[in-house]
Structure 1
Amino acid sequence: MPEASATPPELRTESYDYRLPPELIATEPAEPRDSSRLLVVDRRSGKIEHARFREILTFLPEGCAVVHNDTKVIKARLFGRKKSGGKAELLINRPLDAARYSVLIRGKVKPGTELLFDERLTAEVLSLEPDGSRTVRFFAEGEPLTFEALLPHLERLGHVPLPPYMQRADRAEDATRYQPVFAQKEGAVAAPTASLHFTDALFAKLKRRHDTCAVTLHVGAGTFKPVESDLITDHPMHSEYYEIPEGTRRCLESGREILAVGTTVTRTVEHFVRTGRPFGECDLFLHPHNPPIRVDHLLTNFHLPKSTLIMLVASFLGLEQTMKVYNIAIQERYRFYSYGDAMLIL
């Protein structure tokens, strides 16, 4: 590994650290959705403006297409018990195939352990993976469950998988609020948070002024995984399943300006233009040494320090400007993370 002094600052994980007053972590959403604040950054002029999200259409470049993520968050957190006794908490990460799932389980749970969630739903732990996740199979009355068959059980027993930094249990209203108004395709275990600011009315107004199209990327638990290596390029990037429909592909291939609603859309679009594959696994890591080549503008929230998401923001703004904007947001008392305020990069 190169000596730290010879390594550019934008490749050092420590460069993306910042101190956030705990009271700026948003544990409750803004109501209504579009009353959240919006920090607008013009990359060409360096100008920074402060607005409300409901004003976003006044800032969007004329003629740009808007790409959003239509994934839908599932109730991926389950509470149960081991057959041998003791409580068990399980978070579904993603399906692996027709009958196996990658999950996170709190505590020590060995392969072969049976988990009971109620008289109908059970799970068998098949293996412990190198990254600490487990592979399991779910059963209902003894029959293995496909993802489609599992969904009604999650709706019945599961909980909204709020991020751990909210430090609270989910409530009934989170089932709606931790979900974009245009969510359609079930599969995410974390919300594409830049989308949470749109109301039905504001999104309808956006569609009247701009062409809009959707991609699907099912956000996994890996989105919260911190970068632990000293060099960001040593970080093993997580992968997530994506699909890009034909209409969206035509838009992306048209050459027109693109606004990505969120980091998930940005990664999906950029993966597609690099590979040409309209579906599959996206494990693209964008950072200042691997900047976007297709997305022109980004709408995003304020992200955790030392995360791949703040590094993605730096792929648009550069390290110095990114940390400057974050410091301004802290000084101006913006609300951070999933239920927090938004930033528009033009």
Structure 2
Amino acid sequence: MKITEFDYYLPKELIAQYPLQKRDEARLMVLDKKTGNIEHKVFKDVIDYIEPGDCLVLNDTRVLPARLIGSKEGSGGKMEILLLKRLPDGTWETLVKPGKRAKVGSRFDFGDGELKAEIVEVKEDGNRIVKFEYEGIFEEVLDRLGQMPLPPYIKEKLEDKEMYQTVYSKEEGSAAAPTAGLHFTKELLKKIEDKGVIIAFLTLHVGLGTFRPVKVENIEDHDMHSEYYSMTKETADKINKAKESGHRIISVGTTSCRTLETIGYENGRVKEQSGWTDIFIYPGYKYKVVDNLITNFHLPESTLIMLVSALCGRDKIMNAYKIAVDEKYRFFSFGDAMFIK
């Protein structure tokens, strides 16, 4: 398939620059994957489309405040380090700007010396391996000094870091939020659970590769980025119980979806597992585990719009996106939601 088949026109003013104060009052487009019929709702109405016995699967990853702004030792020049991945030896793979100042041995200060960094390796792709020096617990230092690594299309500064976290976030490690989950409140989740819906959590640490554009003409030639995932036995048992009793698996977000489809067997069952996934889901893919999907509106020509197209068909998705533009839905990370039923 050609990359251009997943392009659409989006006015810049529809790219949401800030989250709603009341998370569950975002708009919700409900798309029937069989008929293509569309309903316009408010997100908290999603409870009306989830039945007792269904299993709602959420990604409990927590975003690290991974953007550090400081200065180079000696020259005092401004530097920015973006944390990508913690390595087994305690060092971090990072993006450093400007790269020309980040040679092996270069040292940087953050927070008046509270945190120091040294470049120990320059990788072939330009990423830097960095060793940090600090007193105490790294995550606490990072929480004081770091900023949220918001996507490049968000220009506004986020005043409250928690607005870029889901209310159920727990496992720290993401470079970006699993944004479909941003619409849930604790109260809405409680109402859904009280209805008899099974709530299950897994973890996938979202990497910045999720924003990496597809640069090949034929999408089959695209190399997918890799992300770490983990599923407990408790979650696997909940999913299998729902499947065996004829109920639906409803994935909250493309990250939960990619994890479920990575772990799932042809019979739709899953098992306790952790590892790295580079699964690339696009039209032609046959879903094994996921029946329905709650998701945001994604970038043109992105792997994420391809994933949702695989669930209900490219034509239905592209038509839904055209309607979303016409109806002035808010797009991307802080935007409105879609439920593919």
- TM-score, normalization by structure 1: 0.91
Unpaired segments of 5 or more residues in structure 1?
1-10
Q: Is residue 189–residue 219 contact of structure 1 (8 Å, CA) maintained in 2? A: yes
1:96: how far off?
1.9
- Match runs of 1:197-212 below 5 Å: 197-209=183-195, 210-212=197-199
2:257 is equivalent to residue 266 of structure 1: yes
Structure 2 distance, partners of 1:237, 1:257, is: 28
Structure 2 distance, partners of 1:302, 1:197, is: 13
2:328 is equivalent to residue 333 of structure 1: yes
1:103: how far off?
1.1
Cα RMSD (Å) of the superposition?
1.6
Structure 2 distance, partners of 1:208, 1:54, is: 15
- Match runs of 1:153-192 below 5 Å: 153-171=141-159, 173=160, 175-192=161-178
Residue 116 of structure 1 corresponds to which residue in structure 2?
109
Q: Is residue 258–residue 294 contact of structure 1 (8 Å, CA) maintained in 2? A: yes
Give CA-to-partner distance per residue, 1:27-50, whole Å, 9 cap, x none: 011221111000001112221100
Residue 285 of structure 2 corresponds to which residue in structure 1?
290
1:240: how far off?
1.2
Residue-pair matches, total: 328
Bigger shift: residues 257-266 or 185-194: 185-194
- The alignment partner of 2:315 has SS state of helix
Residue 94 of structure 1 corresponds to which residue in structure 2?
85
Amino acid at match of 1:60: I
Structure 2 distance, partners of 1:154, 1:79, is: 11
1:251: how far off?
2.4
Q: Is residue 34–residue 312 contact of structure 2 (8 Å, CA) maintained in 1? A: no
- The alignment partner of 2:80 has SS state of strand
Unpaired segments of 5 or more residues in structure 2?
none
Amino acid at match of 2:259: T
Q: Is residue 92–residue 189 contact of structure 1 (8 Å, CA) maintained in 2? A: yes
Amino acid at match of 1:260: S
Q: Is residue 161–residue 170 contact of structure 1 (8 Å, CA) maintained in 2? A: no
Structure 1 distance, partners of 2:339, 2:139, is: 35
Residue 126 of structure 1 corresponds to which residue in structure 2?
120
1:289/1:45 CA distance change after superposition, 3 Å: closer
Structure 2 distance, partners of 1:309, 1:131, is: 23
1:42/1:75 CA distance change after superposition, 3 Å: same
Identity of matched residues, %: 42
After superposing on structure 2, the runs of 4+ consecutive aligned residues of structure 1 that deviate more than 3 Å are 274-277
Q: Is residue 218–residue 242 contact of structure 1 (8 Å, CA) maintained in 2? A: yes
Equivalent position to 2:64, from 74, 81, 95: 74
- Match runs of 1:27-66 below 5 Å: 27-66=17-56
Give CA-to-partner distance per residue, 1:176-225, whole Å, 9 cap, x none: 11111111111112111000001111111111120101001111111111
1:112: how far off?
2.3
